[in-house]
Amino acid sequence: MKKIIEKGIIVASFWGAQALAALPAPSNPSTVTATSTNWLEFIKGYIKDGGLVIGLFISVAAFLWTAWIVIADINEARRGKKEWGEVGLSAVVSAAGLLVITFFLGQASGVI
């Protein structure tokens, strides 16, 4: 039984090598050249790209939150619980807040 397991491990290791041979090469970060061999630059580049993706998620969440607030205000105005002027004010303030968030995230992407 022990020899069968050993042969199985040897055969599985050959199959694993063939499976690894078909994997694509990982892409480089956006700030690192392909010829660079400095690992710290690669790590910094991946962290920067990750920060940019997190910033993108934050801006999308802010947009969805703003849209949700304005839609909820429209529904309340249709029911008579709010005035339409409050809905307009809410939309303008939400849009201004969204612009400020987008501006700050754009500035942060340049700093990172």
Q: Which of 24-38, 56-70, 79-93 has the lowest mean pLDDT?
A: 24-38
What pLDDT is recorded for position 34? 65
| Average pLDDT of every residue of the chain | 81
User: Which residues lie closer than 8 Å to 1 by C-beta, 6 or more apart?
Assistant: none
CA 104, CA 112: separation in Å to the nearest integer? 12
Q: Could you identify the residue written with the tokens 């934050």? A: 58
